[in-house]
């Protein structure tokens, strides 16, 4: 059966064998999607909505290890994450350096794809905070499930802070917008991390 999705790393490396060029080209992802969809707006919309959902959910859950081998895109446009070994802000380090320094992954090549669309569905940005107490209750119920990074009540503080519980809807939206701006501003840092990941993988690290 033909593969219906590819990792970001694979998409980039198939466009160039040079790690730097592969990681920093903003057109690679859009060209890949257009190659399977002939410029179909539906694929762009699918990417836009799934990317927005991914940004919000990965921020609230504090998903770590967000390298280019753990983020995949379906040929029809949906973006998704495949490794949930590190959550609630337990981000990995390499040589004592924190590898992930952004609240969520939002790179300029993602934005480049999104900008091709006619509309942007913004409802996703307010959905989770409106249902914050329900999500915290669900986290509390999972305390006995045996997850190594969710063992005590203090571990639930991370999603509480991410959801801005106790703040007004306006304050919560302002907090998330600040995180959005930070993720986009530090896009180059994400790209450097991805490039280093690719190089180290090639050397068997």
Q: Are strands 79-81 and 71-74 parallel, antiparallel or unpaired?
A: antiparallel
Length of the chain: 205
The CATH code of domain 5-192 reads 1.10.1070.11
Write out the DSSP string of 93-133. EETTEES--SSS---HHHHHHHTTSS----THHHHHHHTHH
Query: 64-86: per-residue pLDDT in tens?
Result: 888 888 999 999 999 999 988 78
Q: Please give the structure tokens belonging to residue 55.
A: 């940004």
The string of pLDDT tens digits covering residues 98-134 is 667 788 889 888 999 998 876 555 555 566 667 788 8
Backbone angles phi, psi at 55, to 5 degrees: -60, -50
Measured CA to CA, the distance from residue 128 to residue 95 in angstroms comes to 35
Q: Would you say the C-alpha torsion 44, 199, 100, 156 has a positive or negative sign?
A: positive
Residue 18 has pLDDT above 70, yes or no: no
pLDDT surpassing 50 at residue 48: yes
**Residue 196: which pLDDT band, with cuts at 50, 70 and 90?**
confident
């Amino acid at each position: 059966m033909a593969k219906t999705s590819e990792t970001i790393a694979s998409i980039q490396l198939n466009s160039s064998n040079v790690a730097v060029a592969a990681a920093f080209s903003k057109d690679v992802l859009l060209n890949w999607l257009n190659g399977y969809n002939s410029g179909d707006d539906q694929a762009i919309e699918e990417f836009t909505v799934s990317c927005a959902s991914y940004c919000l959910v990965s921020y609230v859950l504090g998903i770590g290890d967000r390298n280019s081998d753990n983020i995949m895109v379906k040929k029809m446009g949906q973006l998704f994450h495949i490794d949930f070994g590190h959550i609630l802000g337990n981000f990995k380090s390499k040589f004592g350096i924190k590898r992930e320094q952004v609240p969520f992954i939002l790179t300029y090549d993602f934005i480049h794809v999104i900008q091709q669309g006619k509309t942007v569905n913004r409802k996703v940005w307010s959905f989770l905070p409106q249902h914050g107490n329900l999500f915290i209750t669900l986290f509390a119920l999972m305390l006995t499930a045996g997850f190594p990074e969710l063992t005590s009540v203090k571990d639930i503080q991370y999603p509480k802070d991410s959801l801005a519980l106790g703040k007004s809807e306006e304050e919560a939206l302002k907090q998330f917008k600040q995180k959005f701006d930070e993720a986009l501003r530090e896009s180059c840092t994400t790209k450097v991390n991805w490039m280093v990941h690719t190089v180290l993988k090639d050397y068997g690290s």
